[in-house]
Amino acid sequence: MNPEDIAKDMQEAQDQSNEQIVADLKNLRDNAGWQQVIRFYEGKIEVLQKEILESEVDGEELNRLRDKRNMSIQFKNLPDILIGAITNPDITTELPEYDPYDDSLKPDEE
């Protein structure tokens, strides 16, 4: 087997795996248990939004409330977020390589 065939086989296996993952995430999204989780988080989001709008807090405490609300929204939408990440080839999950001990890669200091 030549390297091109191996690479093609590996890509086909990955595509099939991704298809199965997407199908599983869609099943999760439609599951009655997940629907209960969504209802819980919708209530939590509503309470946090009300607290943000009506609260007299500011600064860091207000930012923490917003962070909690945003994380709750993301968790509620997690299956759709993951499906989008798997099916959208424009989204990359690779981290840039960075070696903190390599001076040539460090940002210029002013």
Residue 100 lies in a domain: no
Residue 15 lies in a domain: yes
Query: Phi and psi at residue 19, in whole multiples of 5°?
Result: -60, -40
Residue 12 lies in a domain: yes
Residue 101 lies in a domain: no
Number of domains in the chain: 1
For the chain, the average pLDDT equals: 81
Average pLDDT for 31-54: 94
What pLDDT, in 10s, does the model give residues 49-102? 999 888 888 888 989 999 999 999 999 999 998 888 888 867 655 555 665 566
Domain assignment of residue 32, given as a range: 3-86
Residue 33's pLDDT is: 95
Residue 99's pLDDT is: 59
> For the chain, where are the alpha helices, taking DSSP H only?
3-30, 32-54, 59-76, 78-87
Confidence band, pLDDT 50/70/90 cuts, at residue 110: very low
Confidence check: pLDDT of 17 > 60: yes
- Look at the block and give the residue holding tokens 């709750």: 72
Residue 78 lies in a domain: yes
Distance CA 20, CA 50 (A): 39
Instruction: Answer whether 45's CB lies under 8 Å from 69's CB.
Output: yes
Residue 97 lies in a domain: no
Distance CA 13, CA 77 (A): 27
Instruction: Answer whether 76's CB lies under 8 Å from 34's CB.
Output: no
Enter the pTM of the model: 0.65
Residue 105 lies in a domain: no
